[in-house]
Amino acid sequence: MDSIIVRGNGPLYGQIPIAGAKNACLALMPATLLSEEPLTLTNAPRLSDIRTMTQLLASLGAEVSALQDGKVIAMSSHGDIASHADYDIVRKMRASNLVLGPLLARLGHAEVSLPGGCAIGARPMDIHVDALAALGAEIELRDGYLHAVAQGGLRGAVHQMRFASVGATENFLMAAVLAKGGSRLENAAREPEIVDLARCLRKMGAQISGEGTSTIEIQGVDRLHGATHPVVTDRIELGTYMLAPAICGGEVECLGGRIELVESFVEKLDEAGVAVEETPKGLKVRRKGDRIRAVDVVTEPFPGFPTDLQAQMMALLCTAEGTSVLEEKIFENRFMHAPELIRMGARIEVSGGQATVHGVDTLRGAPVMATDLRASVSLILAALAAEGETVVRRVYHLDRGYERVEEKLSAVGAKIERIREE
């Protein structure tokens, strides 16, 4: 099992290219099931989760090829498509449930295993089930599988979600584009990944409006055609690497970054004493002073502060001047990185969905263990600013969401390497 060794060594300088968004790509890939014509994605991230989705789509009968060192994904679902998404693949990744809507739209029936993924909360499927049931699907859980049938095909409908779930919004969108008649989704998720999916579906011939707002309108069409679409920049990878010079000092330009993707995050960085400057190539980040100031953070659905940047922000605040309070409102169990940061000398108190961080002068290197995807990279960020050597174990989590971390951080001066432990 791989580990990553980090030796804190001061400021970072240079450029870091930001990949295409993992969460956008994982929603775009199942859209190939909606058409018999080819769908090609450019600017794709090279991640283990993308390989898992490739495996799942191939098991359903789609043809999927990685081109140009994995940055281009060429897909075609022109043949017979199976309706059964098997547990052995689906259990590896939460986003596997995004084949449910497309399979229902294309075939009128689907059997999809309950998904797996990071251990950061229950993330129930009932919001997805309710959204698809509004379109006429009958869904029941048997033997660990969601068995879905749409007798006579899906029908357009108005549905209001009780929570602005990103995944349920994506499943509803992909199902409704081929439903009979018009649909309206209220309290829809507004994330950039939703906007990116809607734009891709529109290139394929779908009739969608309102993406990026809480109300999305869809007029069903008879068929979709092929398209080529670039995956939007990964706002979570962007925010993560923006924190590197904030924690260590120095100045780093994140290539491909745009402020509108991370506006609430940038506001908190400014409050904490971090300068963010737009450039023709992306975003340039540096500290304003010698030390970060404490700030309070509350995670919220987009456009609020992203839950997927909470762990990384906590790493920054561990050495801030003063006391910060982080409140997690999206997922339970998402402070599992706190005990590992404490091993490095951080002063953190966790109570339910709230963490209080008392800034310390310095962190110290220590052996730590990654508990989930975002926690793993938060430990690497903390290690960059720590005195001595940190060994981060169980980094297979990291590979699900960050491509070539060691390469990108080494290029700006970090002392970081991956080792294989027997």
* Whether residue 321 is found in the same domain as residue 176: no
- 213 and 290 fall within a common domain: no
Question: Do residue 213 and residue 281 come from a single domain?
Answer: no
SS3 percent helix, strand, coil of the chain, rounded to 5, is 35, 30, 40
Pairing of β 323-327 and β 297-298: parallel
Which residues share a beta bridge with 288? none
Q: Output the known binding site for phosphoenolpyruvate.
A: 22-23
Q: Check pLDDT > 90 for residue 58.
A: yes
Nearest residue to 16 via CA among 384, 366, 305, 376: 384
Choose the final residue of a domain: 211, 230, 249: 230
Give the confidence band of 135 by pLDDT, cuts at 50, 70, 90.
Answer: very high
Domain housing 54: 22-230
- Same domain membership, residue 255 and residue 287: yes
Q: What per-residue confidence (pLDDT) applies to 379?
A: 97
Residues 222 and 349 reside in one and the same domain: no
Binding-site sequence positions for UDP-N-acetyl-alpha-D-glucosamine: 94, 308, 330
Judge whether 248 counts as a catalytic residue: no
The number of distinct structural domains making up the chain is 2
8-state DSSP, 77:
-
Q: Are residues 141 and 152 in the same domain?
A: yes
Last residue of a domain, one of 167, 200, 230: 230
201-206-208 Cα angle (round to 5): 90
Residues 257, 389, single domain; the answer is yes
165 and 289 inside one domain: no
- From 182, 198, 230, give the residue that closes a domain: 230
> Per the residue annotation, which of 118, 248, 254, 318 is the catalytic one?
118
The mean pLDDT of the chain is 95
Q: What is the rounded CA–CA span in Å between residue 224 and residue 106? A: 10
Q: Is the domain of 206 the same as that of 255?
A: no
Whether 117 has a pLDDT exceeding 60, the answer reads no
Q: Are residues 66 and 82 in the same domain?
A: yes
| pLDDT at residue 422, as a whole number | 61
Under a CB-based contact definition with an 8 Å cutoff, are residues 4 and 405 in contact?
Answer: yes
Question: Which helix (H) or strand (E) element contains residue 131?
Answer: helix 126-134
How far apart are the C-alpha atoms of 416 and 409, rounded to whole Å?
A: 7
pLDDT of residue 116: 58
Give start and end residues of each alpha helix (H) in 76-205: 87-90, 100-107, 126-134, 166-176, 192-203
**Do 213 and 295 have their domain in common?**
no
With bands split at pLDDT 50, 70 and 90, how would you rate the model's confidence at 118?
very low
The C-alpha atoms of residue 263 and residue 266 are separated, in whole angstroms, by: 5
* Contact residues for 25 (Cβ-Cβ < 8 A; gap 6+): 41, 44, 45, 50, 53, 73, 231
CATH number assigned to the domain comprising residue 143:
3.65.10.10
pLDDT at residue 121 in the model = 43
Query: Is the pLDDT assigned to residue 119 strictly greater than 70?
Result: no
CA distances in angstroms from 118 to 21, 29, 49, 93, 169, listed in the order given: 18, 20, 12, 8, 20
